[in-house]
Every structure is written in C-alpha cells, then in structure tokens.
Amino acid sequence: MPVTVRTAVAGFFFLGAFMAGITLEEAQTHLATWLEADKAVAKGQSFFISGKTYTRADAQVIRENIEFWDRYVRRLSRGGIKIFGGTPT
C-alpha cells in the first residue's frame, strides 16, 4: 500500500506522493512554468498562474513547487518507482 503524503502545490494539497495520469511532458511544462515564475519574482515582477498572482512574498511557495515538479520529472524520467528487496506476492 502506498504511503500517503500531504503535498502542497500552488496552495492546494494532494494526497499521495505523486498524482496519477501526469505524463513526463506535462510535468516538464509545470516545472518550466514555476521556473518562469521564479525568474519573474526575482526581478520584482508578479507572475500569474491558474487564477493566482505570485509575488516576491510567495517565493517559498514557488520554491516548493519547483522542488515538487523537479522530483516528479526526475521520477518519470527514470521510469517510475524502483523497489529493492521486495518480495512479490
């Protein structure tokens, strides 16, 4: 049974380590969007994503989303979850 983790992404909480049905391409697009947001707020500008405006005050939320999507992209790139020492049932 998978471990349930509460992960905040863009102010929303997702149950589970990763969301089902997200492709590598979609994950890369999300990561690129959050990297653009980081660049914009670093310049003192605001950035608009899904109905919410992010500013320098939201830098921590932006950083958390970058880390989340970066992990997601890396996991999908290597082919998913690897289990070592497991016993099939």
User: What is the pLDDT at residue 89?
Assistant: 72
Q: Which of 27, 26, 20 lies closest to 74, judged by CA?
A: 27
Which pLDDT tens digit goes with each residue over 24-79?
999 999 999 999 999 999 999 999 999 999 999 999 999 999 999 999 999 999 87
The ranges assigned to domains in the chain are: 22-77
**Rounded distance between C-alpha atoms, residue 51 and residue 16, angstroms:** 24
